Amino acid sequence: MRVYRGVKTIEDARFVTEILRKAYENYTLPEPDLMAFECTPTGRSTPRPTNAKRLKPADIDIVCAIGDSITAAFGADATNLLQLFNDYRASSFSGGRSNVIDTLPGNFQTFNPQLIGFSTGTGNANSATAFLNVAVSGAISSDLAAQVENLIYKLQEYPTGGWKHISLFIGGNDLCDWCNYPDFYTPANYKENIVQALIRLKVILPNCFISLIIPPDVTLLAELTGGWCSVLRPFECSCNRDVRVKEIHRGYIQALHEIENDPRFNDQLNFFVSVQPFLEDIQIPTLPDGRYDLSYFAPDCFHFSRKAHEAAALALWNNLMEAPADKKRSWVIGEPYECPTSDQFLQ
């Protein structure tokens, strides 16, 4: 139960299990109802591009994903207690390919039918269908080194020259545990963990477009009150009510932008790092009556449902289509996909 970082004892585990069992008694998996991906495919670059800043969607040959339980799609498709503690990697917004919802790899595949690397099933990072989604539920930024090594190892079985899109999404668990270990989860340490991961990728892997996804402000979870949400919150994110976490979150955001502008990651044509900020100022979607729309959450009121994964995939795709100065810092529920022109490059 590492994904529930507040579970410290057997008694805690039994308590959370019983709460989740009761929460599931009246739970129905929400169906996605967002805009469908209907962009017209544009062709690959001719000749083959050598500059990571001049990649069209069709130029992406391999998709990879690094991160925590959100990238692993923990609980995204669960409909009962036994299913909750699974990683539904096919539904991962950045690393999966689903027949039910749109995901970033699915969108890329529209442009390049030969795309490889995406997850297609359930299981941990080394399961048969995980492929290049190496995210680990419960991971913190200091775990990135191990994930990078796993990705490098797996990529030995893939074409070495293909252009890779690698999503790196980490930090939520760091923020959720900051108040317990403030000297460990500092913005400086967060930055260094990511820098070292990127240096390793740069040295070993050619032809990479890296999307650094800003983690959301976990203090928003405090707004989900009542019922099982309030009961489970201490086990999921013990620091979500600490207002100081907002400042740490801002420090994480600054760290990611500093990494994006670091000369070490801008001195090679075949390696590019871009911040995707669609979760920076995210707000929890609401229903017409003003209540929070819990269908965007798994029943534990913490992890994304597959409906939220589809919303995140749309927002991430649109960030990739937007110029740096125009990138949206929050997903906009109901917005259409931004389709590229024939000469448009990933941003």
201-229: per-residue pLDDT in tens?
A: 999 999 999 999 999 999 998 888 765 67
Domains in the chain: boundaries: 10-326
- Tell me, rounded to whole angstroms, the distance of Cα 189 from its chain centroid: 20
Collapsing DSSP to helix, strand or coil, 212 comes out as strand
Greater confidence, 241 or 33?
Answer: 241
Backbone region of residue 103 per phi and psi (left: phi > 0; alpha: psi in -120 to 50; beta: other values): beta
CB 63 within 8 A of CB 105: yes
Task: Work out the pLDDT band at 157, boundaries 50, 70, 90.
Answer: very high
Over 70: is that where the pLDDT of 52 sits? yes
Given the residues 59, 61, 68, 174, select the one marked as catalytic: 174
Mean per-residue pLDDT, 73-89: 83
Local structure of residue 143 (DSSP, 8 states):
G
Given the residues 91, 119, 300, 303, select the one marked as catalytic: 303
CB 142 within 8 A of CB 161: no
Mean per-residue pLDDT, 15-43: 64
Mean per-residue pLDDT, 12-38: 57
Residue 28: its pLDDT value, please?
Answer: 53
Q: Is 167 a catalytic residue?
A: no
Neighbouring-strand partners of residue 64: 166
What is the rounded distance in angstroms from the CA atom of residue 28 to the CA atom of residue 15? Answer: 22
pTM of the entire predicted model: 0.90
Residue 300: its pLDDT value, please?
Answer: 81
Residue 110: its pLDDT value, please?
Answer: 97
DSSP 156-176: GGS-TTSEEEEEEE--HHHHH
* Other CB atoms within 10 A of residue 25 CB: 9
| Phi–psi pair at 211, nearest 5 degrees | -100, 115
Task: Work out the pLDDT band at 1, boundaries 50, 70, 90.
Answer: very low
Given the residues 69, 92, 141, 305, select the one marked as catalytic: 69
Long-range CB contacts for residues 44-51, cutoff 8 Å, separation at least 24: 44/112, 49/163, 50/269, 50/270, 51/269, 51/270
Mean per-residue pLDDT, 147-168: 96
Local structure of residue 61 (DSSP, 8 states):
E
Q: Which residue, among 319, 41, 37, 332, has the nearest Cα to 165 in the 3D structure?
A: 319
Residue 253: its pLDDT value, please?
Answer: 98
Greater confidence, 83 or 8?
Answer: 83
**H-type alpha helices, the chain:** 10-23, 81-84, 104-111, 144-154, 172-177, 187-204, 227-236, 244-260, 306-321
Task: Work out the pLDDT band at 309, boundaries 50, 70, 90.
Answer: very high
Collapsing DSSP to helix, strand or coil, 309 comes out as helix
CATH architecture type of domain 10-326: 3-Layer(aba) Sandwich (3.40)
Please tell me the total number of residues recorded for the chain in this structure. Answer: 347
Over 90: is that where the pLDDT of 340 sits? yes
Question: Counting Cβ atoms within 10 Å, is residue 195 exposed (0-12), middle (13-18) or buried (19+)?
Answer: middle
Over 90: is that where the pLDDT of 301 sits? no
Residue 185: its pLDDT value, please?
Answer: 98
Q: Is 300 a catalytic residue?
A: no
Over 80: is that where the pLDDT of 22 sits? no
Q: Is 69 a catalytic residue?
A: yes
Neighbouring-strand partners of residue 304: 297
Over 50: is that where the pLDDT of 325 sits? yes
Lowest-confidence region among 19-33, 78-92, 217-231, 314-328:
19-33
Is the bond leading into 47 cis (omega within 30 degrees of zero)? yes
Neighbouring-strand partners of residue 271: 208
